[in-house]
Amino acid sequence: MATYKLNINSKEYTIEAEPQTPLLWAIRDEAGLTGTKYGCGIAQCGACTVHLNGNPVRSCSLPVSAIVGQEITTIEGLSDDNSHPVQKAWLEVQAPQCGYCQSGQIMSASALLDKNPKPSDEDIDQAMAGNICRCGTYHRIRKAIHVASKEISDGSK
C-alpha cells in the first residue's frame, strides 16, 4: 500500500492504494465519486471515461500510481447544476435510457467539443466510437452533440 494524492475536480484526495490499482476504483471507492462507471476493465467500452489534463482516458486501464500530479475531471466535475452545454443538450434530446454508459459518453463528448466546437458527423464517429451504449442511444447522442455544439458556437459569437 502507498499513499497517493489525487487531484480530482480541482480537489485534493489522499488515498491509500496498491500502485497497480486502476484509477477507476480509486475514483469510485476511495474518493467516493461513483458517477464514473465500471463496464469492461479493458478499455473497450468507455463507461469509465474521465478527463486527464483535459483528454478523455479510460480510467479502468490506468494504474493510480501513474496519475499523481495530474488533473482529473470526472462527470461530477463538469458542472454543479447540469449547466454544462453537453449536459443541457443531453437533457434537451432526452438521450439516456438506462444511463449507465452516459457519464462516459458525456466525458468523451465534452472533450471532443473542447477541442473541436463544431464537429462533423465523421468527427463524432471518431471521437465517440470508443463508447458503447447497449440501450442504443447513439442516434440521440449524435443529435445532442450537435445541439451542444450550436450552443457553444452561439455563445462564443
Partner 1 sequence: MEANKLNRRKFIKITGLAGAMLAVGFDTLALGSSNSTFKKLMAEDLVNGTQLNPFVTISAEGEVTIMAHVPELGQGISQGIPAIIAEELGVSMDQVTIIKASASRQYGRQSIGGSRSVRSLFTPMRQLGASTKDVLVQAAANKWDIDPSACEVKEGVVYRKGTNDSLPYGELVADASKLELPKNPSLMDKKDFKIIGKATHRPDLAGKVNGSADYGIDAQTEGLLYATIERCPTLQGAVTSYDADAAKAVKGVVEVMEVTRTVYGKKNTGIAVIAENYYAATEGRKKLNVQWDNAEFKNISTESMNADMIKLAQGEGMKHFEKGDFESNQGKKGIDGSVKVKSVGYSLPHMAHSCMEPMNATVHVREDNTVEVWAPSQSPQVQRQFAKELGIPDNEAEDKIKVHLPYLGGGFGRRSMNDSLEECFQISKSMRKPIKLIWSREDDTLQGPFRQISHHRMTMSFNSGDRIGMQHKMVSPAITTQGRPSNGRVPFEVMEAINTHYDFDDFSVRYAEYKNQIPIHWWRSVFGSTNAFPHESFIDEIALELKKDPLQFRKEKLKSEPRFVKVLERLEKESNWNEKLGANEGKGVAIVESFGSIVAHAVFLKRENGKVTIPKVVSVVDCGIYVNSDQVIAQTEGNIIFGLTAALKDAITFKDGAAQQANFDSYRMLRINEAPRDIQVHLIDNDEAPGGVGEPGLPPIAPALTNAVFNLTGNRIRTLPFDLQDI
- 100-119 residues near partner 1, rule: CB under 8 A: 100-103, 106
Pick one of 8, 111, 133, 147: the residue that binds partner 1 (CB under 8 A). 133
CB of 55 to partner 1, least distance (A): 19
- Alpha-carbon distances of 154 from 46, 106, 113, 157, rounded to whole Å: 29, 20, 13, 5
Q: For residue 132, which of 59, 49, 64, 68 has the smallest C-alpha distance? A: 49
Radius of gyration of the chain (CA): 15
9 touching partner 1, by CB under 8 A? no
Asked whether 96 and 137 are in contact (CB, 8 A), the reply is: yes
13 touching partner 1, by CB under 8 A? no
Pick one of 65, 99, 146, 150: the residue that binds partner 1 (CB under 8 A). 99
Q: Pattern 26-55, binding to partner 1, x per CB under 8 A?
A: --xxx-xxxxxxxxxxx-xx-x--------
